[in-house]
Structure 1
Amino acid sequence: MRVLQLIDSLEAGGAERVAVNYANGLISQVDGSYLCVTRAEGLLKASVNKAVGYLFLNKKATIDVSAIWRLYRFIKKENITVIHAHSSSYFLATLITILNPKLKLVWHDHYGKSEFLEQRPKRILQYCSKYFDHIFSVNSKLKDWASSHLKTKTVSYLPNYAVVGDTVLSTRLKGTEGKRIVCLANLRPQKDHLNLLKAFKLVAKNNPDWTLHLVGKDFEDDYSKHVFEYIKSEALEDHVFFYGSCEDVSAILLACDIGVLSSQSEGLPLALLEYGLANLAVVATNVGECNQIIKNKNTGLLVSAEDSNALGNAIMSSIDDLNLRRAHAKQLTQLINTDFSETRALQTIVNTYTLF
């Protein structure tokens, strides 16, 4: 079995991290593990294992004949048998499967707006889904949606897993050691940084020595503009620091104390798993599968989405009670190591591949 992970970019996003984790993790599980990046390389390229067969297409259009031909030849040359397409790369994967019907096609649905599925475009996806041999969904809502709206016969929920990167801290973190809150999320509307900033305004008023550290890609759009305008208008520049995309994420997390997500919508956020592996206490909004990770008040604190007062108060509860913070961090780490392990996920993936 020779398996190709297909992803549009290697920017530091959740789906991209999953594709790289699978390509690296499957090296010892299959005869050949490959990764193809269709449109843009990025920070995550440095974390691709040298034993992974790698191809960058530099695709310029939705239907780029030259890119399609290069991928087709690469698959034939390497005798690849399974394409595991992530997110929107399913369209290219479908075209390749039509050209080579012997290929098996798995689609991995990472859709980040699972709270708003009624708005999801689906016409092209529905057509392509008849070529999928299996769908992996990152949460149960996406699984149910795929089962009822798409034409693929088998669909399963597959929890994400995270790995600890072996990185040295190269980012110069501001703030006081032992009093850092981190949010690992690209600047996208569904991540609702404005809700977090409003919550942190309350936190900073009562805990002026604590700081907030935002790590994620800035798309320099209207949403980003609003985020930075709010920081300036509320005079939070000395308390909130933005670092953009970073190569040393694991090291940054280890240098922080509380991890937070303030999303309006999620799948099963990789950030929460990474927080746990970094032994952080966590505060998050109750969306997507967050309650499968932060549950029973034992592994962190959950609040309703778009409620900045509740989010701020939860963060302050964690700040005020060091013993609670340590207990949540310890139990979250234990949960992730047992229920969201790399070994378990890879075994499920390989077993699914072998069913075709």
Structure 2
Amino acid sequence: MRVLQVIDSLPTGGGARFVVNLALALSQKNIETDVLLLDGAETSFYKELQTSFSGKIISLTTGKRWDIRNIFRIVPYLKTYDIVHVHIFPASYFVALANIFTRNASPIIFTEHNSQNRRAVHFLFRYIEKLVYAQFKKIVCLTPAVQKFVTDHLDTDPSKLVVIENGIDIQKIVATKAYDKKDFGFGASQKLILMSARFETQKDHETLIKALALLPERFCLIFAGEGSLLNYYKKMVENFQLTSRVTFLGNRTDIFKIMKMCDFNVLSSHFEGLSLSAIEGLAAGRPFIASNVAGLDFIKDAGVLFRKGDEKELASIIKTLAEDDILYKKTAEKCLERAYEYDIKYMIDKYVALYNDLT
């Protein structure tokens, strides 16, 4: 079986991490897998794939993922592989449009990564979305909530939808050795809070910044990630006079070591699909705290949920855990137990079964 994974590019983010994990795992199962990128910019994920991957990395352009000619560049590949598996907008549109121009194309699978999609609820774009989704043989939804959103807003044939939850290599994180706090200039008594997420509108860094302002001085915040709103949040930190307590690390390839160094892993967000970052946070063996929104509510009864946008509740949760060693340890243990339910081996088996059903 020959499988082609298609994504616009490999920036630091959940969708790109998903594709890298999937491609590597499929190759290890001796399934011939290649990755096609609309934009082959050499990001950290690109370099990781280049180093560890046995398949081909096909780059249509460098820095031109929106080039309309990508539609026609994709066409030949739709006949070359047994399965074409596409992820994320705009790659989904380019592949769908290429399919319209292709006779006898291979079956196309699309993984819907988010529980919300602004195009699907826009009065004009929803009709384009319906045309695009009609080109896919199967649509994989990361959670039942994602499945419901697609059904409700895009009138998709339910038989085309299948739920396959995200998964990660849990043992890789468990085996990772944490940095020492002093490696980053922190003292042993300081309590470190990490949020690893892109600085985009989907995420809610603001609530965590406001929560930090309510916590004692010994609590410090670390942000890992980049994005279009990075400078906006840097200015917010200055306005709250928290500059000495907030560290911006940018994109990191050593995020698991940082997760395990910190005392708390937090994901404050407006919505998710089924967040890889959340599963990684659970697996770090520290209390994981997240907004109570679709795509993060799966941590219930393991990690701790707070009301979206409620900085007072978030600060209270962090403070309570920090002051109760027994509760802290019990919560961390439950988080790790829940993480094992999302080991990548389960996800891969389900994708392989789906590929086999379509070939």
CA distance in 2, matches of 1:170, 1:159: 33
- Considering only aligned residues, what root-mean-square deviation do their CA atoms show, in Å? 2.6
Deviations 1:209-243 (A, max 9, x none): 22110001132xxx434311221112111111111
CA distance in 2, matches of 1:40, 1:94: 20
Deviation at 1:95, TM superposition (A): 3.2
Unaligned 5+ residue runs, structure 2?
none
- 1:295 aligns with one of 290, 297, 300: 300
CA distance in 2, matches of 1:239, 1:251: 20
What residue in structure 2 maps to residue 93 of structure 1? 95
In structure 2, relative to structure 1, the CA distance for the partners of 1:343 and 1:196 (3 Å cut) is: same
Q: Is the 8 A contact 2:84 2:108 kept in 1?
A: yes
Q: Secondary structure at the match of 2:33?
A: strand
Q: Secondary structure at the match of 1:280?
A: coil
With 155-164 and 259-268 compared, the bigger mean Cα shift is at: 155-164
What residue in structure 1 maps to residue 18 of structure 2? 18
Deviation at 1:175, TM superposition (A): 2.6
Deviations 1:314-347 (A, max 9, x none): 111121122222211112112211x211111011
CA distance in 1, matches of 2:310, 2:120: 22
- 1:258 aligns with one of 255, 264, 271: 264
What residue in structure 1 maps to residue 81 of structure 2? 80
CA distance in 1, matches of 2:93, 2:289: 36
What residue in structure 1 maps to residue 234 of structure 2? 228
Deviation at 1:100, TM superposition (A): 4.6
Which amino acid is 1:122 matched to? R
Deviation at 1:268, TM superposition (A): 1.3
In structure 2, relative to structure 1, the CA distance for the partners of 1:175 and 1:150 (3 Å cut) is: farther
TM-score in terms of structure 2 length: 0.87
Q: Secondary structure at the match of 1:328?
A: helix
Deviation at 1:63, TM superposition (A): 5.0
What residue in structure 1 maps to residue 319 of structure 2? 316
CA distance in 1, matches of 2:293, 2:273: 8
CA distance in 1, matches of 2:148, 2:264: 33
Q: Secondary structure at the match of 1:189?
A: coil
Query: Would you say 1:103 and 2:106 are equivalent positions?
Result: yes
What residue in structure 2 maps to residue 161 of structure 1? 167
What residue in structure 2 maps to residue 140 of structure 1? 144
- Give identity over the alignment, percent: 22
Q: Secondary structure at the match of 1:39?
A: coil
- 1:345 aligns with one of 340, 344, 347: 347
What residue in structure 1 maps to residue 130 of structure 2? 126
Deviation at 1:167, TM superposition (A): 7.6
- 2:184 aligns with one of 141, 156, 173: 173
Which amino acid is 2:293 matched to? V
Q: Is the 8 A contact 2:108 2:136 kept in 1?
A: yes
Q: How many residues align?
A: 343
TM-score in terms of structure 1 length: 0.88
CA distance in 2, matches of 1:308, 1:46: 37
Deviation at 1:185, TM superposition (A): 0.7
CA distance in 1, matches of 2:57, 2:233: 36
Alignment of 1:49-64 (within 5 A): 49-58=52-61, 60=64, 62=66, 64=68
CA distance in 1, matches of 2:119, 2:71: 32
In structure 2, relative to structure 1, the CA distance for the partners of 1:111 and 1:44 (3 Å cut) is: same
Which amino acid is 2:149 matched to? W
Q: Is the 8 A contact 1:109 1:137 kept in 2?
A: yes
Deviation at 1:40, TM superposition (A): 4.6
Q: Is the 8 A contact 1:183 1:259 kept in 2?
A: yes
Which amino acid is 2:353 matched to? N
